[in-house]
Amino acid sequence: MNKQLPLLSLAILLLFSCKQKSIDIHEDDILCKITSHTENATVENGKETFISANIDSQNNTIKNVSFYFNGVLIDSVKNAPYELRDTISNFLPGKSVISVVATSASGKEYKDEINVNFKINLRDRYQGGRVFKLSEDGKHGLIVSEEDMEGGTLFGKFLYDGSNKRITAATNMGDGKANTQSFVKQYSSSETAYAAIACNNYRGGGYKDWYLPSHDELAILANFSDLMGELSFDNYRFWSSTEAMLEIDSAYALDLETSEMILIKKVYLLRARAIRQF
């Protein structure tokens, strides 16, 4: 015996720009029409996204319309027009899903969804800092903290380690994390005068995997001086976690006045910024 269901037409309109393509899906007595006005249907991190749900309820009462991104509730709207304008941030880059759920007064839910691409851009605020490096597919990269490490020996500046000891001599792109862990193993986390320890202790954005960048990682930030805060005549050098190969009393630092990596004696006081991977 067929049970007659109330007719509800649900149309989800994602407003972007560029070319249009439409898909019609019929499920029982519900018509869902999804229209994307962009060829690639891309949602960009931290930028406003406009989602509109056009609902023909056939005189049935709609209790609310909820908007989801990758299963996370963004907002609910109780009255027409059923629209959402919001910035969507901090999701993993790549294929994502926007869903709209219309709930009738009786509690019955009508759902539809569309696949989109979530995109991260350089300089975006993302996962506790600012993005300064992206992989070719845009799914991985490096984030720098938006603030200098606090504390240090003098005005937020830090020693490398203040000794002639050999800690590590790695210069590869990913070695900053390993270098920092070498410090953690050798020194107590209470040695906050040292740049690597300060970065390891940092908890920006609630993340616990920050570290002092290696020579090559820090060198990239020469192209992003706008992310490194205010510079002054004695405040433009930042420690890396990479020691010199031969001069065990020296380590590499970024000089933002010249955009070059230079060797500095470990006992000098320099600024420090933490980075992390995603």
Q: For the segment 129-178, what is each residue's pLDDT rounded down to a tens digit? A: 999 999 999 999 999 999 999 876 655 688 888 777 777 667 766 789 99
| Burial class of residue 252, CB neighbours in 10 A (0-12, 13-18, 19+) | buried
Q: Binning pLDDT at 50, 70 and 90, where does residue 23 land? A: very low
Q: For the chain, what is the mean pLDDT?
A: 81
Closest alpha carbon to 127 in 204, 33, 23: 204
pTM metric for this prediction: 0.81
What residues have CB less than 8 Å from 58, skipping those under 6 apart?
6, 7, 8, 9
DSSP state of 61: P
| Measured CA angle at 145 (ends 143, 148), to 5 deg | 150
Tokens standing for residue 165? 């000891």
For 181, the 3-state DSSP assignment is helix
CA 11 from centroid of its chain's CA atoms? 31
Please report which confidence band the pLDDT of residue 17 belongs to, taking 50, 70 and 90 as the band edges: very low
Q: Which residue has the tokens 């994390």?
A: 177
Q: Where are the domains of the chain?
A: 8-119, 125-277
Percent residues over pLDDT 90 in the chain = 45
Total residues belonging to the chain: 278
Q: Distance (Å, rounded) from C-alpha 190 to C-alpha 258? A: 33
Element of type H or E holding 198: helix 195-201
Phi then psi for 245, rounded to 5 degrees? -70, -40
Lowest pLDDT segment from 20-34, 172-186, 233-247: 20-34
Contacts of 46 (CB under 8 A, 6+ apart): 87, 88, 89, 124, 125, 126
| pLDDT score at 248 | 84
Q: Among positive and negative, which fits the CA dihedral 97, 26, 75, 44?
A: positive
pLDDT at 155: 58
What lies within 8 Å, CB to CB, of 258 at 6+ separation is none
Whole-number Å distance between alpha carbons of 44 and 124? 10
Name which residue leads in pLDDT, 124 or 160. Answer: 124
Query: How many Å apart are CA 141 and CA 174, to the nearest integer?
Result: 11
Assigned superfamily of 8-119: Immunoglobulins (2.60.40.10)
CB atoms within 10 A of CB 67: 24
CA distance 221 to 231: 14
The 10 Å CB-count burial string (b at 16+, else e) for 89-125 is bebebeebebbbbbbbeeeeebebebebebbbeeebe
Q: Which of 32-41, 80-89, 258-267 has the lowest mean pLDDT?
A: 32-41
Q: Give me the pLDDT at residue 39, please.
A: 43
Percentage of the chain lying above the pLDDT 70 cut: 78
**What is the pLDDT confidence band of residue 276, given thresholds at 50, 70 and 90?**
very high
| Nearest-angstrom CA–CA distance, 197 and 223 | 25
